[in-house]
A and B are shown apart, each in its own frame.
Chain A
Amino acid sequence: MTELWRKLAGFVRRGTIEAELQEEIRTHIAMKADAIGDEHAARRQVGNVTWLVEQSREAWGWPRLEAVARDLRHGFRSVAKRTGVSTAIIATLAIGIGATSTIFSIVSAVLLRPLPYPDAQRLVSLHETRLSADRLMSRVAPARLEDWQGLTRTFDWLAGSNVETFAETTGIVPEQVRVASVSPRFFAVLGTPPMFGRAFTTQEEHFGGAKAVVISERLWRRRFDGDRSALGRTLRLEAKSYIIVGVMPQRVEYPSPLIDAWIATQADEDLMRDRGASARFYEAVGRLRSGVTLERAQSDLDAIQRALGDTYPKTDAGWTVTVAPLKEELVGKVRPTLWLLFGSVTLLLVIACANVGCLLLAQLSTRGVELATRGALGASRAALARQLFAEGQAYAVLGGGLGIAIAYASVGFIRQQLPEFPRMSETTVDVTVLAFAAGVSLAAAIVFSLAPMLHVVRRDIAPSILRSSRGVVGGGQRLPRVLVFAQIALATVLLVGAGIFLRSLAALQETPLGFDPDHVLTLRISASFDEHPEAVIQRHQRTMDVLSSLPGVRAVAMSRGAPGTMSVVPMEFRVAGEAVDQTGAHFVRRRMVTARYFQSLSIPLLAGDTCRMSSDPQEEYQAVVNKAFVDRYLVGRDPIGREIIFGPQESSASIKIVGVVGNAREEGYTQPIEPIVYACGFLRWFPDSDVLIRTDGQAAMLARAARDAIHAIEPGRAVYSAQPLTDALSATLSQHRFRTLLVSAFSALALTLATIGLYGVMIYSVSLRTREFGIRMALGSSPSTIAIEILRSAGTLAVAGGAAGLVLAVLLSRVLAAVVTGVRYVDTTAYLLATGVLFGAALIGCLGPSWRAFSVDPMDVLRE
């Protein structure tokens, strides 16, 4: 160890060492000269000083490393000499390594790294879960959260949060901000202190305490230009003032990406008494005590919830708790997509390596004379192989470097494209990614150098070169053909993959929704949850009135969440007078909408009528059900006038069915049609509901007018997310689109590389056989016979590669459909499409070589 250190230190002062040695030996000579009295004799006896210094200095060296460095230097020199091929090789490698590193940087940040909190493996998410067959998961009520915290022995802290969109009105215009309303102990669970300032005090966390806000680094930089004097300033959120007490670093993106601020919920006594469905709004998170396993925490909470069930039979019996790693909750959904992309990009890299192997092999033949000369001068085959490997390394270093640059650029681009993707702010080209890129480059160098190295080691190179340059019939083409075959096969797999994704995406987009999203503008108006129901009704009425009076507007409605863009949590219900089977309660999706919802979305009314809008906050909603509901629960009976009772108890209020409408995919393209109950009336409990406006003209053109009209009557509120409904629906497919785009891009690159590979091998083969063709033509063969021969030879390769690729694709697409949601079509069209594209490209790849063979001039050949 110390020896290594001394050597390293020696490396640092290697200049000094040499100087000292020189002086030492000069002194030695001088002393010797003094002793024997003859300087010349002394010099003669000591001999070559430089050689002596060199010998002594070598003790400090790293003989093996220095040999590698020498090889590399040589490699770079020989790479630099052949600009054309070298450029092609480096570009190919850069694409392969760049794409792989890009995807790896996402995989690494999102899937591999722990969440960016201290002891992140102790963080878990918690859901209330029905003990019924459907195991319905729900958010957590504040009251229950406090009970759990009081009784648990396996958690340090439990907390909850709920994300809302507010208007912040201290600026010139109201600004939309994404705010998390959090329970006590929230930041203690995350365990991350603010960059500066502080988290909430206990007093601020509870009802009646001072109103404080912790803002995100992003909001801080945006609104306060990163000025520390932001602490102590005020934000006005929905007409309430909050003092800024702390700034959280950007990596804290919980409970949502792009979160702007955190405030304390300060739940009042009423809320703390409410254990029912309407109070279940916290996304709950907990920090396990050190050393506690997930299983122990689970059984601890199971026992606690059973006890609560005994204490509160009406609300808590029949529920349990589900504990899961927080990381799983945050990134579990994107895991299959990311691994899929990583798999595709790995295929691309393998193709790139095979391609470079081909290019190197082709190049080897043109360098035959050089290598043969070296061999003749005494270089062993091992030395020649080492030289080729060194060149491979040189390519890898250059290609890898360029690849890292590509990764930098594309990671930036992807971060911009997918701001809502989990953990994007953590996705960077960091040390891990650099190490990965370096490792991949080295591995690639080994892989693609293998072909030429084998070639040199296995054969006696000089005779083979003499034969190919002077002989008549070129041979020894098996290896490059195998490499091209592999490229075509793998490119076919990627093409089929892209085809399947494209078809699935198209199929999703063509799914009939049951409503007409064209000509509909959606927008939201910021509001706070504690607005009084009566005030909400009046404000909603005002808003709908002013929007209805805009020119071109056909219908205005509101709903809780825009249709087709979110999932609807099913609620327990029964129809009055209908028996509920013994297996348990029925669950149905419930949507909160206003009367004109159906008209504004062109959902046909099949029976009865839409609801009557009552401005009395005490009056119950009326129910409009869809056809699927009638088909499942009220077959052959008249639904109009029947009562639907939500909730498990007798005492729950009932709502009367007034109409039946057509089926609409309220949960978007990817979800099946389900029975739905529309609770119809003013959305008095949901102040920030979505507004839907149907217009004659283009929806986007209306945004401006709608915004202005609302600002005129609500100057203190922010209008946000104003967009055509079609855009909102299209955004729900953005992840599908993203992965389709990437896989398509990868397969296009793969196809290009494979085509180049095919072209390269064929043109090389033609160049080797020019003499043969010339002679054959002179003996009477027609040029077209020879051109067809080349075409056939290339065709065989393409067909064989394509067939192998299709078989592989069939096997892989099964896995694909099982693992990735939204891939429903393992269909023939995708395969035909891929095959067609492949053969098109292959044809382009071999036209050039065939033409070259066709136009061989026998006279030229014979004259040579």
Chain B
Amino acid sequence: MKERTDVPPGTLYMLILRTLARLGPMHGYGIAQYIQQTTGDVLQVEEGTLYPALQRMLIKGWVKAAWRKTEHNRRARYYTLTPAGREQLAIEIRQFERAMAAIRRVIQPA
């Protein structure tokens, strides 16, 4: 079994937004699965952080939610990116990259 890591703090919104930007409308389970698979099972999104985050994003207006049938004919809540969410994604990526660049400078061997 591979070593799993929790989502680094402050990046969850970015990950969710990015996932939705790529996949289009998706439900919570799908989002979690996608992140897990794309990171080669390194990043694990806990339900206990995913769903509160989605609710906060609804309040902030970054995503919209609608109930739809899945291909297995289950009723699930699908989240869609809003224009505000798209803007936020750009902001989050920019901030993340600046932070990463800075961190990298610190940990680089001299």
Q: Do A and B originate from a single complex?
A: yes
A1-50, CB < 8 A from B: 2-3, 6-7, 10, 20-21, 23-25, 27-28, 30-32, 34-35, 46-47
Contacts A3-B61, A6-B61, A28-B47 given; does A59 touch B52 at CB 8 Å: yes
Interface size on B, residues (CB 8 A): 22
- B52 contacts across to A, CB distance below 8 A: 55-56, 58-59
A93-112, CB < 8 A from B: none
Bound Cα distance A20, B61 (Å): 18
Interface string of A769-787 (1 = CB under 8 A from B): 0000000000000000000
Bound Cα distance A599, B67 (Å): 99
Interface: B15 (CB within 8 A)? no
Interface: A52 (CB within 8 A)? yes
Which residue in A32, A34, A35, A56 is a CB contact (below 8 Å) of B55? A56
Bound Cα distance A32, B32 (Å): 11
- B8 contacts across to A, CB distance below 8 A: none
Bound Cα distance A32, B56 (Å): 23
The answer to whether B48 touches A55, judged by C-beta atoms less than 8 angstroms apart, is yes
The answer to whether A24 touches B60, judged by C-beta atoms less than 8 angstroms apart, is no
The answer to whether A6 touches B74, judged by C-beta atoms less than 8 angstroms apart, is no
Bound Cα distance A21, B74 (Å): 15
The answer to whether B29 touches A59, judged by C-beta atoms less than 8 angstroms apart, is no
Closest to A27 in B: B76
Interface: A223 (CB within 8 A)? no
The answer to whether B47 touches A52, judged by C-beta atoms less than 8 angstroms apart, is yes
Closest to B55 in A: A59
The answer to whether B56 touches A47, judged by C-beta atoms less than 8 angstroms apart, is no
The answer to whether B48 touches A52, judged by C-beta atoms less than 8 angstroms apart, is yes
The answer to whether B59 touches A30, judged by C-beta atoms less than 8 angstroms apart, is no
- B67 contacts across to A, CB distance below 8 A: 20
The answer to whether A47 touches B48, judged by C-beta atoms less than 8 angstroms apart, is yes
Bound Cα distance A34, B74 (Å): 12
Interface string of B55-93 (1 = CB under 8 A from A): 110111100000100101011110000000000000000
- B29 contacts across to A, CB distance below 8 A: 27-28, 31-32
Contacts A27-B27, A30-B74, A32-B29 given; does A52 touch B51 at CB 8 Å: yes
The answer to whether A27 touches B47, judged by C-beta atoms less than 8 angstroms apart, is no
Q: How far apart are A41's CB and chain B's nearest CB, in angstroms? A: 14
Q: How large is the interface on A (under 10, 10 to 19, 20 to 34, 35 or more residues)?
A: 20 to 34
The answer to whether A28 touches B61, judged by C-beta atoms less than 8 angstroms apart, is no
- A10 contacts across to B, CB distance below 8 A: 59
Interface: A57 (CB within 8 A)? yes
The answer to whether B59 touches A21, judged by C-beta atoms less than 8 angstroms apart, is no
Interface: A60 (CB within 8 A)? yes
Bound Cα distance A258, B28 (Å): 72
Interface: B35 (CB within 8 A)? no
- B77 contacts across to A, CB distance below 8 A: 20, 23-24, 27
Q: How far apart are B69's CB and chain A's nearest CB, in angstroms? A: 11
Interface: B54 (CB within 8 A)? yes
- A60 contacts across to B, CB distance below 8 A: 55, 59
Bound Cα distance A639, B21 (Å): 111
- B55 contacts across to A, CB distance below 8 A: 21, 56-57, 59-60
The answer to whether A23 touches B59, judged by C-beta atoms less than 8 angstroms apart, is no
Q: How far apart are B55's CB and chain A's nearest CB, in angstroms? A: 4
Closest to A20 in B: B77
Closest to B49 in A: A55
Residue among B28, B29, B76, B77 with the highest chain A CB neighbour number at 10 A: B29
Bound Cα distance A309, B29 (Å): 95
**5 pairs from A and B in contact (CB 8 Å cutoff):** A24-B28, A25-B51, A28-B28, A58-B52, A59-B52
Ordered nearest first, which 4 A-B pairs have the shortest CB separation? A59-B55, A56-B51, A31-B29, A59-B56
Given contacts A23-B75, A27-B75, A34-B72, 14 further A-B contacts (CB under 8 A): A6-B59, A10-B59, A20-B77, A28-B27, A28-B28, A28-B47, A30-B74, A31-B76, A47-B47, A52-B47, A52-B48, A55-B52, A56-B51, A59-B58
Q: Which B residues lie at the A interface, using CB under 8 A? A: 27-29, 33, 47-48, 51-52, 54-56, 58-61, 67, 70, 72, 74-77
Q: Which A residues lie at the B interface, using CB under 8 A? A: 2-3, 6-7, 10, 20-21, 23-25, 27-28, 30-32, 34-35, 46-47, 51-52, 55-60
